[in-house]
Amino acid sequence: MPTSSHRHASEVPPILMHAGPILAHYDVVFCDVWGVVHNGMTAFEGACRALETFRTGGGTVILVSNAPVPKKRVSDMLDSRHVPRGAWDDIVSSGDIALSHLEERKFERLYCIGPLDRDQALFSALRARSVGLDDAEAIICTGLNDDRTEAPEDYRANLTRALKKRLPFVCANPDLIVDVGGTLLYCAGAIADLYAQMGGEVYWAGKPYLSAYETAHRKAEGLRNSNVEKSRILVIGDALRTDIKGAENYGCDALFIASGIHRHETVDGIDLSATKLSDLFGPNAPPAIGAMLELAW
């Protein structure tokens, strides 16, 4: 079986109907959540069954999410979307990575961007005080304050003020957009990206950066009580920029799920289009060993 390390970035991944034969070559799966396991509203039953079957056969599943909240909140959200507990072993969340970074930097005063109700689990876990922009030592961002009505450009004025103060920006969700039941909404990463383009310092807490998969790898080895070679890890995700690129950065194989964030670019009606897939996996795309419309055993 060809691996992504031997597959050139310009090659188009083969379209697969079943993941079982591929999963048999791996001990550990790092699986994205939103777009692979659920669509923001309800679980994908086929994907959940595939992960359960993999675990029943001795595999370990670490859910790696760019959700800007601690893993307990991610677990609760999975329960609310009827994702079975048997589909995963542990969770790595961007929220926890961001909180750890803030603790390491010992910030005492933070300017918070993001919906206080939705992301209360992270904001309530902050040891630093929430202050106005003029008094802040850094910015913590979990998303847009109102992602239904706002766009990243609405934050340019405050980002300009932050840049003059050279405030570091901690992005608790590196995703640019998210698919919520068929609607694409901006995420914290879109604001962070704008700040970086303006010349600001950004810490990206999550995929595709190494912090996410390094954390997941440690968890997997702890659960299995053994070393796990990267060649025995498969990354499953729906976003080229975060999941598939993150796998390439970390040196793992990747399986692309097309019905998530890239569905408008890859799906014709209800089928995965080989032509559209070829366009998506152009010369600069990260490699994948296969592509599926939805994860299924």
pLDDT digits (tens, 9 = 90+) for 78-92: 999 999 999 999 999
> What is the structure's pLDDT at 6?
47
Are residues 129 and 151 part of one domain? Answer: yes
> What is the structure's pLDDT at 272?
94
Evaluate whether residue 118 is within a structural domain: yes
Evaluate whether residue 89 is within a structural domain: no
Q: What percent of the chain has pLDDT over 90?
A: 88
Question: What is the pLDDT confidence band of residue 153, given thresholds at 50, 70 and 90?
Answer: very high
Final residue belonging to a domain, choices 157, 188, 204:
204
Q: Is the peptide bond before 208 cis (omega within 30 degrees of 0)?
A: yes
Are residues 120 and 193 part of one domain? Answer: yes
Are residues 109 and 200 part of one domain? Answer: yes
Evaluate whether residue 223 is within a structural domain: yes
Residue type, 204: W
Evaluate whether residue 38 is within a structural domain: yes
Are residues 138 and 55 part of one domain? Answer: no
| Cα distance between residue 196 and residue 109, in whole Å | 21
Q: Find the domain containing 265 and state its range.
A: 20-66+208-292
Are residues 200 and 217 part of one domain? Answer: no
Task: Enter the tokens of residue 156.
Answer: 């340019």
pLDDT digits (tens, 9 = 90+) for 198-227: 999 999 999 999 999 999 999 999 999 999
pLDDT digits (tens, 9 = 90+) for 95-128: 999 999 999 999 999 999 999 999 999 999 999 9
Contacts with 234 (C-beta within 8 Å, 6 or more apart), sequence order: 22, 23, 25, 26, 28, 29, 30, 252, 253, 254, 255
| Cα distance between residue 243 and residue 235, in whole Å | 7
Q: What SS3 class is residue 272?
A: strand
Evaluate whether residue 42 is within a structural domain: yes
Question: What is the pLDDT confidence band of residue 77, given thresholds at 50, 70 and 90?
Answer: very high
> What is the structure's pLDDT at 5?
47
Which segments within 5-106 are labelled E, that is strand? 28-31, 60-65, 90-93
Q: How many domains does one find in the chain?
A: 2
Are residues 228 and 173 part of one domain? Answer: no
pLDDT at 191 over 70: yes
Are residues 149 and 179 part of one domain? Answer: yes
What's the mean per-residue pLDDT of the chain? Answer: 94
| Cα distance between residue 191 and residue 139, in whole Å | 11
> What is the structure's pLDDT at 189?
96
pLDDT at 8 over 70: no
| Cα distance between residue 201 and residue 46, in whole Å | 41
Are residues 173 and 123 part of one domain? Answer: yes
Phi and psi angles of residue 43, each rounded to the nearest 5 degrees, phi first: -70, 150
Length of the chain: 297
Of these ranges, 17-21, 177-181, 264-268, the one predicted with the greatest mean pLDDT is 17-21
Are residues 115 and 46 part of one domain? Answer: no
Q: What SS3 class is residue 202?
A: strand
Evaluate whether residue 6 is within a structural domain: no
Q: What percent of the chain has pLDDT over 70?
A: 96
Q: Is the peptide bond before 70 cis (omega within 30 degrees of 0)?
A: no
Higher pLDDT: 284 or 181? It is 284
Are residues 134 and 212 part of one domain? Answer: no
Are residues 194 and 110 part of one domain? Answer: yes
> What is the structure's pLDDT at 11?
85
pLDDT digits (tens, 9 = 90+) for 133-150: 999 999 999 999 999 999
pLDDT at 9 over 70: no
Final residue belonging to a domain, choices 204, 225, 248:
204
Evaluate whether residue 11 is within a structural domain: no
pLDDT digits (tens, 9 = 90+) for 245-263: 999 999 999 999 998 889 8
Find out whether 159 and 195 touch, Cβ atoms under 8 Å. Answer: yes
Question: What is the pLDDT confidence band of residue 3, given thresholds at 50, 70 and 90?
Answer: low
Final residue belonging to a domain, choices 163, 183, 204:
204
pLDDT at 4 over 70: no
> What's the CATH code of the domain at 110?
3.40.50.1000
> What is the structure's pLDDT at 1?
53
Residue type, 209: Y
Evaluate whether residue 240 is within a structural domain: yes
Which segments within 45-121 are labelled E, that is strand? 60-65, 90-93, 109-113
Are residues 43 and 58 part of one domain? Answer: yes
Phi and psi angles of residue 209, each rounded to the nearest 5 degrees, phi first: -85, 155
